[in-house]
Amino acid sequence: MRDGDAIRTYKARRRVTTGQAEAIARLLPRFGAGVPFDRAAPLVLEIGSGMGEATAEMAAADPARDVLAVEVHTPGVGALLRRLEDAALTNVRVAEADGLDVLRATATASLDEVRVFFPDPWPKARHHKRRLATPAFADLAADRLRVGGRLHLATDWTSYAELARSVVDAHPLLAVLTTDRGARPVTRFERQGLAAGRRPHDLVAVRLRTAAG
Ligand SMILES: C[S@@+](CC[C@H](N)C(=O)[O-])C[C@H]1O[C@@H](n2cnc3c(N)ncnc32)[C@H](O)[C@@H]1O
């Protein structure tokens, strides 16, 4: 644990190959979170972009919005950076960081969407406290979303889907819009789950104007 009430929602770091380290050194100055976007556009924050396939695919299909992808694992950061270079995408920035820290540092009502696709499932009961979808996370996400902005969660663990639903249902500033996946492509982690017989559950909630809706 890092400090105070900060719970680590991710697993231990993985090794970085020379190629990934090289890609990061070369491409962060172009696509890193510190590089401003060259326009003012609605901003999507993705927490846990993994190896970045879905991130790049969705950004390419949605050029009117900018995306900040946050991932704690260095190999994933390197992989996404290379995808951005290959596809010459200009609407994505990448941060190697804890997405909760990034969300905390984001201004109130500044986000158009918060995405969390297949967060680490932490299936064992003693690890459930590490799951990202807590009431505190919902509070934070709701505050950072603009009115009408969306929180999109996807998981293929039924108990996690139930947890996410109960957290959203209990939140006075969030209302479930749909459980359709919409334009979300099949992610790498989702593909592994499908092969193992799991099925995805999506939950898209909208940020309400007031507690009364
Ligand atoms: C199961 S993987 C899913 C990756 C990808 N979204 C997909 O569907 O293929 C979960 C990812 O979330 C990342 N992660 C977990 N907690 C995080 C956090 N607090 N901030 C940023 N990334 C996080 C993990 O490192 C991991 O890459």
pLDDT in tens, 78-113: 999 999 999 999 999 999 999 999 999 999 999 999
Residue 87 is inside which H or E element, if any?
helix 74-87
Reported confidence tier of residue 181, pLDDT bands at 50, 70, 90? very high
Q: And the tokens for 203?
A: 């939950």
73 lines ligand 1 (CB under 6 A): yes
pLDDT in tens, 21-49: 999 999 999 999 999 999 999 999 999 99
Out of 120, 143, 156, 169, pick the active-site residue: 120
The atom of ligand 1 lying closest to the CA of 8 is 19
Q: Tell me, yes or no, if 120 is annotated catalytic.
A: yes
Q: Under a CB-based contact definition with an 8 Å cutoff, are residues 153 and 203 in contact?
A: yes
Q: In this structure, which residue's CA is closest to atom 4 in ligand 1?
A: 50
pLDDT in tens, 44-85: 999 999 999 999 999 999 999 999 999 999 999 999 999 999
The atom of ligand 1 lying closest to the CA of 99 is 20
Predicted confidence (pLDDT) at residue 213 exceeds the cutoff of 70: no
d(CA 49, ligand 1 centre) in Å:
6
198 lines ligand 1 (CB under 6 A): no
The atom of ligand 1 lying closest to the CA of 117 is 6
Detail the DSSP E strand segments found in 27-136.
Answer: 43-47, 66-71, 92-96, 111-117
